[in-house]
Chain A
Amino acid sequence: MSTNGKSSMVTINLDGNDVEVPAGINLVEAAGIHGTEVPHYCYHPQLSVAGNCRMCLVEMGTPMRDRATGEAVLDENGVQKIGWIPKPIIGCGTNVSPGMHIKTKSPMVTDSREGIMEFLLVNHPLDCPICDQAGECRLQEFATDYGRGYSRYVERKNVKPKRTKLGPRVTLDDERCILCSRCIRFCQEVVDDDVLGFVDRGSFSTLTCFPGKELSNNYSLNTVDLCPVGALTSTDFRFKMRVWFLKESPSVCTESSAGSNILVSSREGEIHRITPRRNDSVNDSWMTDSGRELYKQVKSDNRLLSASVSGNSLNLSEAISSAIDLLKGKNVGIVGSCRSSVEEQYLLNKLSKNLKAKKFLRGHFGDDDGILLSADRSPNLRGNLVTGFSNKYPSDVLPELAQALEKKQIDALIVVGEELSESGVDLDDVNIPVIFLGTHQNKTSELSTVVIPTLTSFEKSGSFINRNFRLQSFKQSVPGPAGLLPDLHIIVSLINGLSEDADQSSDLASIWKQMSKSTTNPLHGIVYSKIPGDGIQLDGAKWDSLPFVEKKALHFSPLKQTQSA
């Protein structure tokens, strides 16, 4: 008998059945574990308990004991009596205790829910046809599941401001607000930017920003996700698409090494919004506002859509074969990328081994906000370490490349997505053929001899390793532009075209078979299709001595060595 497992579980009685639940959790969670929904608005597992919506009312009782003696009070059958509390209690604010009895389906509970729903709908504008929340609205769902089904209210409803701009990205429709205060608690507790509050009383209570402040922090759009109704809406997504048309696919945010888990919502191959996906060991239920805008790169004006050789548009296979001709027998340099997936970095490393090429790697850095925007602004810097493309920590300039160009040590260059002029390389010095693999135009792609367009992370599958050395896979969400192939196929064609005995497959499963072979590599034994939705924690102890730039943040604390470094 494991004492640990035993002590952390308690037995409660849920609707007449004895069930085991972890000790210390509240009744909403406890019932949820066993498939019983306790409806709630204000409660959120990652915020403090406010207990103000009263939707989660349940009946509760505890085994009865005599007050004087402390002895168990038994009924005629010799079973301990249950002392039921005469009024319902809130499930979110009550924690489980051994022997506790809960009723979630009794007439009193049903009545309470109907009453609460009726009060919530008294001043609700019933805007559903124009409300962006329709389809994922808790008020709609609970009105259907637990409401009375008809309205007794004949008086005139309250009118409140309809399109208040709370900040640059959030629009508030006050009439729809049910005063759950999730957004207020989120700003206070997660972002530490206390800007929201209620003013006025009773049915006139209104959510508003404090005078002179606005909801402009980089996490403001999380309040839109948190809002159980359509009160807080995203200005960007407002009136763009109804949620029931959207296909949601899990992915990973590429903004920084935090690697927030996301859901990409698309309709017919067009992405309409990005929302966070819950992962309690990475990003809880949050993500940055700036990360949500990354989908715009898919349809941006400077996207590379066709392959070209010396400025002439060609099809992809012709461009790849001219790249192979250019690279044959040359001293090649390869500029890798911290934005490529693990698999691409592995293959690029293989290509560089086959060509005996010089490898260069550049990092992208910014300010750390201590939550989910880390100082390392690339999703997969650690992938380069794990796949062996690089063994030192990259800086944001490439002096070695400038030197190699000056000394004419290389006479052909492969660049993956990077902008050389930003990495301390004078583009006038680049007098050798450059093969550019990337998604968007930049100065380097303009001077490149061969430009091979590639796909964004929304259009391909792969994996990233985040700041915690957590391996997270992402799957294709939308199809790429016509005629383009994933980066993997392009690197594989270069590998197979440049060495006669190479027989590399571009299939993810077989690439992973090769990558996970070595027992000394942290990727040992991992099968791509078996990577769980919340990722796999890798052992990154080998690289502890590197000067990682990330600061202490949500679910991340830097190692001691790097703090002192």
Chain B
Amino acid sequence: MAKTVVLQRKPLSLSERTYLPQIVTGLKTTFSNMFKEKVTLQYPEEKPSIPKNFRGVPTLVKDPNGREKCVSCQLCEFVCPPKAIRITPGSVPEDEEDREHVEKAPQEFEINMLRCIYCGYCQEVCPEEAIFLQDEYSTSGYSREEMINNKAKLYELGGTLPDQHYKWDKKKIAEEEGNAH
């Protein structure tokens, strides 16, 4: 067993006994920070800017023409590790303008935010680029049911993202102009 050594404390000097140098050093730090740029945010009134590759709440987006992009292929439902996504597939009526080439769209699309782990697999797997994890990070609710985002909510959160594909427009042109028979 190690032997306990009792150390003798040095007696305090005069300046140490007055505490003045310490107070001055402390105030110097305080005053220097008063004139620096502010780093605190008045959350929740003020919100931080979110980096572009941030993975927030998964949302559904529409194309620049305001059309639903999701075709309910259910790949996100399949890939979702915590099984947070639940899709009820549906078909698009034949006479619907602008969408007659797509045929399929979700009837209902639910993401359970109590299950979601924000992994971003759904965004990665989506062949239609319809689901994105955007900058929304704060979700709260009073009940479990409230924490399930339905289709309307997902589109409200998602909005429109620029889309370079114009898939349906291309299909429409192909049908109208077509190859000579």
Name A's B-contacting residues (CB within 8 A): 128-130, 134, 156-159, 162-163, 200, 204, 238-242, 244-245
Contact = CB atoms under 8 A, between A and B. Distances in A.
Interface residues of B, number: 24
B78 A241 contact: no
Nearest to B179: A158
Contact of B127 (A129, A163, A245): A129
A129 B74 CA distance: 8
B73 interface: yes
Interface of B: 71-75, 77-78, 89-91, 94, 101-104, 127-128, 171, 174-175, 177-179, 181
Contacts of A134: 73
14 contacts: A128-B73, A128-B127, A129-B71, A129-B73, A130-B72, A157-B174, A158-B179, A162-B101, A162-B103, A163-B94, A239-B91, A239-B104, A241-B89, A245-B77
Given A130-B73, A245-B74, A158 B101 contact: no
Contact of A242 (B78, B103, B127, B177): B78
B127 A156 contact: no
A311 to B, nearest CB: 36
A507 B137 CA distance: 54
A159 B77 CA distance: 31
A164 to B, nearest CB: 11
Contacts of B104: 130, 239
B115 to A, nearest CB: 16
B41 to A, nearest CB: 41
A202 to B, nearest CB: 10
A113 B82 CA distance: 40
B contact patch SS: loop
A199 B55 CA distance: 52
B175 A130 contact: no
Contacts of A158: 178-179
Contacts of A130: 71-73, 102-104
Contacts of B174: 156-157, 159
Contacts of A204: 181
Contacts of B72: 130, 239
A221 B128 CA distance: 30
A91 B102 CA distance: 38
B74 A159 contact: no
Nearest to A159: B175
Nearest to A155: B179
Contacts of A163: 94, 103
Contacts of B75: 129
Contacts of A245: 74, 77-78
Given A130-B102, A130-B103, A162-B101, A242 B175 contact: no
A219 to B, nearest CB: 25
Contacts of B74: 242, 245
B166 to A, nearest CB: 14
Given A158-B179, A242-B89, 20 more contacts: A128-B73, A129-B71, A129-B73, A129-B75, A129-B127, A129-B128, A130-B72, A130-B73, A130-B102, A156-B177, A158-B178, A159-B171, A159-B178, A162-B103, A163-B94, A163-B103, A239-B90, A239-B103, A242-B78, A245-B78
Contacts of B103: 130, 162-163, 239
A365 B100 CA distance: 46
Contact of B89 (A162, A200, A239): A239
A-B complex: 10 closest residue pairs judged by Cβ atoms: A129-B73, A130-B104, A159-B175, A242-B74, A129-B127, A130-B71, A239-B91, A239-B89, A129-B71, A159-B174
Nearest to A134: B73
A303 B175 CA distance: 48
A212 B22 CA distance: 102
Given A129-B73, A130-B73, A158-B179, A240 B89 contact: yes
Contacts of A242: 73-74, 78, 89
